[in-house]
Structure 1
Amino acid sequence: MLKKLLIAASLAALAGSPAFSAPCRDAKGKFIKCPEKAAAPAKRCKDAKGKFAKCGTPGAKPA
């Protein structure tokens, strides 16, 4: 019984691995370097005078 359970677990692990490598393959199926995710731009806000201010302060609007 334990042997069947181990075989089933290993087959499940092998079946799930292509899903993780799919984004790092080209159209021909060859492995390529995965593109790095772009960093989220920092939010900056300006006050009524046009100077940078902390977002959340009264009168500050996203720049």
Structure 2
Amino acid sequence: MTKLVATALLGLALTLGSVAPASATPCKDAKGKFVKCAPKPPVKKGPCKDAKGRFIKCK
């Protein structure tokens, strides 16, 4: 019974461990050379407000 649980946990750990590096792909230019990745644009959260907390038109 313990051997079955240990095998299942090991399989789960190997599956989850192999997913993370695959999603972290390095950036490449048109010639296929590795370049520094551009920063992701910030995600806007909700409506825009000014310094006093009043709602304003978002830019």
Q: What is the TM-score normalised by the length of structure 1?
A: 0.44
- What TM-score comes out, normalization by structure 2 length? 0.45
Structure exhibiting the larger radius of gyration computed from Cα positions: 1
Query: Higher strand proportion, which one?
Result: 1
